Structure 1
């Protein structure tokens, strides 16, 4: 995913009210940008971080700018816009980047299975040995919480996330292939684990899903001010 037009560079003054961030652009002007991330953003929103904003030409938008990237004091990039995670996975599916999904024939976004109560990020289609088309379901989570080189999810309690895990487990127990993919948008992260210390209920739900046959995996991204590209698999520690 390439940023076009180019992002605007600035320095973070503060993030507040979850959805707002004040930024001083390199030209000295101060703007308020939309922050498309409802999480705690621990370690992602430190005043003084270099940040990158996209600029909208839509006159109906309340805020002209959207906060896309942050760069830590030691140079690591973070994808702030959680909505990009699904776009990155869709692009990776199309380009056959992830080996586990290299034989996917097609996908649809935001699908509710006939026997489920939750909508999942992707319905994937692939053929079995008998050339029958089979549908499987994937849920995507964006990971930005880093402690040294370890990534953690979630960064805040997520009842919705736990519900999705239990739904995936139920589908897996019924013979439907399912997966939980952690999309890592932080270049310091080299492995992913569930943040039991933040949300033990979610951690338990992920373990139930894994025990039921849900595939739990992670993939990291190449990130710079021009692009974000989902790159390769990372270890997941359960």
Structure 2
């Protein structure tokens, strides 16, 4: 199971210290829950938003509840738990729900590769095909100032993301297939582009990667099927 279900609703009071958030539960009481997201989370959690949380049965955890989704006043559903992006993509690859990645016999996660000591999210292999390196990035930044449905990555400067683009370029130059896959975890996002207004270096590397033949894929999972509360 990707999520502990059924999830419960709460109202967000505030997020702080990156990994923590205070919420008001359905019974009116207040508590602190865990937030598995190191990013800026722009537009993904404003005070007063409805959030959905899961409950852990691990008694050793300090915080029993984990913030999984936000439902905005505009009725956008957002998966804020970025740790779930790879699980969603793994499930989709195995169920052949991503047409560009169909036809590989083996899917291996977290494989060491590259000159910069990286780990690729998924290495797809088949005896009849060249290996395919798939790097997954979760996209939740919606900015509709130019056009409705515009999504951007990253939502903060990412030296790690820059490194991953360099590694994908290297793999492509070595003759392998390289894929940058955006897992779109915001129901309002219809397309994804690099956030030049946030990280110009990442954008430059993104454009270089495309010229080198690195493929860019967007995967739009149906987030609503995970909400049962």
TMscore range, shorter length: over 0.9
Are 1:153 and 2:160 counterparts? no
Q: How many pairs were matched up?
A: 224
Displacement of 1:219: 1.2
Q: Within 2, Cα distance between the matches of 1:162 and 1:2? A: 28
Pairwise CA RMSD: 1.6
SS in 1 for 2:82: coil
Corresponding residue for residue 203 of structure 1: 203
Q: Within 2, Cα distance between the matches of 1:49 and 1:16? A: 15
Aligned 1:99-118 pairs, distance under 5 A: 99-113=99-113, 117-118=117-118
Q: Is the 8 A contact 1:93 1:104 kept in 2?
A: no
Displacement of 1:113: 2.6
Q: Name which of 131, 143, 151 aligns with 1:135.
A: 131
Aligned 1:78-117 pairs, distance under 5 A: 78-113=78-113, 117=117
Displacement of 1:84: 0.5
Displacement of 1:116: 6.0
Displacement of 1:126: 2.9
Q: Is the 8 A contact 1:37 1:82 kept in 2?
A: yes
Corresponding residue for residue 121 of structure 1: 121
Corresponding residue for residue 53 of structure 1: 53
Extract unaligned runs of 5+ from structure 2.
Answer: none
Corresponding residue for residue 192 of structure 2: 192
SS in 2 for 1:221: coil
Extract unaligned runs of 5+ from structure 1.
Answer: 229-238
Q: 1:176 to 1:115 in 2, by over 3 A?
A: farther
SS in 2 for 1:83: helix
Corresponding residue for residue 231 of structure 1: none
Corresponding residue for residue 63 of structure 1: 63
The list of structure 1 runs, each at least 4 consecutive aligned residues, that deviate by more than 6 angstroms after superposition, is none
Corresponding residue for residue 42 of structure 1: 42
Q: Is the 8 A contact 1:7 1:54 kept in 2?
A: yes
Are 1:25 and 2:21 counterparts? no
Displacement of 1:224: 2.2
Q: Within 2, Cα distance between the matches of 1:225 and 1:93? A: 18
SS in 1 for 2:211: helix
Displacement of 1:4: 3.3
Displacement of 1:225: 6.7
TM-score between the two structures when normalised by the length of structure 2: 0.93
Corresponding residue for residue 170 of structure 1: 170
Q: Is the 8 A contact 1:34 1:66 kept in 2?
A: yes
TM-score between the two structures when normalised by the length of structure 1: 0.90
